[in-house]
Amino acid sequence: MEEDPETGNSSRTERKALEKAKILQRERERKVFRLVGRVLKKPEAERSEEEAAALLLHREAVDELGRRQIRRNVLKRKQEEVFDDADELKSKVKQLAAAVKQANHLVVYTGAGISTAASIPDYRGPNGVWTQLQKGRTVSSSDLSKAAPTVTHMCIRMLHKEKLVKHVVSQNCDGLHLRSGLPRHALSELHGNMFIEVCTSCSPAREFVRLFDVTERTSLHRHGTGRRCSHCGSELRDTIVHFGERGTLEQPLNWKGAAEAANEADVILCLGSSLKVLKKYACLWSMSRPANKRPKLYIVNLQWTPKDDLAVLKIHGKCDDVMSLLMEELNIQIPEYDRAEDPIFKLATPLRPEEVQSHNREVLAAPDGQESPSAENQQQQPSEETSSLQGGWFGRGYNKGRRKKKKKAA
């Protein structure tokens, strides 16, 4: 049945009129909010009668602006870094030490805050990657070839060696847990490892550990590294899990190990994580259990986390400081990082001759007296193009998400 031309024209006219009315209504509301906002910024004694009347007339706008200011203040407080004083810090660390000693199955969850001492930026701290990008600032790259495991990394490795820590679940992609000497079976790198590329066409997936950051060409939903599997010829991919992606690789993510450890845990220690991402992984928190049967939660972080109210103890301190005090309480010596013992040099797979020019990242320098398997042909000098932050494990995915949101808003 054909539509009556007059009826069709009428409905289109009505739709246009309705859309125009909505646009005009939004513009009127914006003008009201701008007016009320200007008035509210003035001290009450300096407001004219006309301005006071405007506030009375537009009570809904006044209330909404008040609610927005409260939300901004709450968010600002959550982003502030808080430090416990020296005496309180020592007292809290003593409580933590007692919990570590008594724990039957202690699991450690780590975030970017444990790597800031290695000059690797965190995400949500005052100078974090997300914080800087939200302010419209550029983020300079870190020379990750010069980064080394921190005091916290080495403490965790030692606690595992002493059988006080059973498993480590990390959000970090910097590979520093692996380089500290922590056994791989005791580690779940939920968001991948920047030194590892894999062939998913091989069964099981075949790993290639490199001495450089393999994420140079990768980003959100684009994981091909440009190199190929030496066994089947398929393109290799990085192991990074970006915000909004779901990690499916068995290694190095090791979700099975993480879930099993969380299920057996009686104590969970969170170090340097905002927990805004980890909180979404239900299998890590045993929330299906009654509250009195869940693992006891201890958090070390300078900022607010969404799990603070559930924690037995919240310690406001830098991870290295807290872990140093903890090891002192436990009477365990902290081992120094020894480059000659770094497992990555033994695990690394050399590039084939045709792959020598496949990257521009700096290569980890072999320890004195040793020759890395790729020292002769893999050493590349970073080009000017790589001087700004590039690659898969932070920065790019965030910007793509921001662009999409802006397009939707437009």
CB 108 within 8 A of CB 177: no
Question: What is d(CA 188, CA 191) in angstroms, rounded to the nearest whole number?
Answer: 9
Does residue 372 contact residue 348 with C-beta atoms inside 8 Å? yes
DSSP alpha helix (H) spans, 126-173: 129-134, 151-161
Structural tokens at position 384: 């000017």
> Residue 229, annotated ligand binder?
yes
Distances (CA, A) of 230 to 352, 358, 360, 363: 8, 14, 21, 20
Q: Which of 160, 167, 177, 191 is catalytic?
A: 191
Q: How far apart are CA 277 and CA 280, in angstroms?
A: 6
**β-pairing, 313-315 with 296-300?**
parallel
CA 294 to chain CA centroid, nearest Å: 25
How far is 113 from 120, CA to CA, in rounded Å?
Answer: 9
Q: Give the burial class of 32: count Cβ atoms within 10 A of its Cβ; 0-12 exposed, 13-18 middle, 19 or more buried.
A: middle
Verify whether residue 191 is a known catalytic residue.
Answer: yes
Residue 202 is labelled as binding a ligand = yes
Among residues 78, 83, 73, 169, the alpha carbon closest in space to that of 125 is found at 78
Cα–Cα distance measured from residue 367 to residue 188, given in angstroms and rounded to the nearest whole number: 26
Residues 6+ apart with CB under 8 A from 325: 89, 90, 93
User: Is 173 labelled a binding residue?
Assistant: no
Return the amino acid letter for 372.
Answer: S
Q: Which residues are annotated as a binding site?
A: 199, 202, 229, 232
Active site residues: 191
Q: Which residues are annotated as a binding site for Zn(2+)?
A: 199, 202, 229, 232
